[in-house]
Amino acid sequence: MTSNISPNLKNNFSEESTYAPVSIGLPWRILLFAGILFVFSLFIFLGLKFGYNSYIDSKDKSLDQKIDDLATKVSQDQQKTLISFYSQLNNLKDVLGKHKFSVRVFDFLEKYTIPSIYFNSASINIETNKIQLSGFAKTTEDLVEQLGVFDKSAEFSGSILQQMNFVPQGVAFTIILSTKADVLSKL
């Protein structure tokens, strides 16, 4: 059987079917980049290990020396007093941070207090929905206006003027406020 393919076509086909050799291996650019990255990382590590570490150690020693100098300047009694005061402040911060109720009550009372009135004591009873406030007003008109503000408020069911005295600052008073149910418990 003879082939019907022309000899020119056979030559062209065999010339085109030859492949170029493919090299297998790591490209030199990736290897160079990895080497530079490794040297840079090693440089940073050694700089932190020997340079920055010794700097931190020297700062630590100088701070320790300053603390020792300060300790010799402050007597033991003053140190105990300072530690006690700091402890009390820290405990007060913790207590006030946990008791959001008192902050909300002050905001609540401030909303209904006119500027010429100030309170110097407050007692709150959540079970009976009563607030007892003692304070000062500049004039009796200011006190009457304050009682009117409490009476017109939707949160209060009533106000009673328990005590009133004329003092050099103006008028000293004690008011008992009755709040509507659940007003204090929602604060």
Domain assignment of residue 19, yes or no: no
CA-to-CA separations, 93 to 11, 84, 124, in angstroms, rounded: 95, 14, 22
Domain assignment of residue 143, yes or no: yes
Domain assignment of residue 154, yes or no: yes
- At 19, give phi and psi (nearest 5°): -105, 150
pLDDT tens column, 102-157: 667 888 888 999 999 989 999 888 888 899 999 999 999 999 999 999 999 989 99
Domain with 172 in it: what CATH number? 3.30.1360.100
How far is the C-alpha of 142 from the C-alpha of 102, rounded, in Å?
Answer: 26
pLDDT tens column, 36-74: 999 999 999 999 999 888 899 999 999 999 988 888 888
Domain assignment of residue 147, yes or no: yes
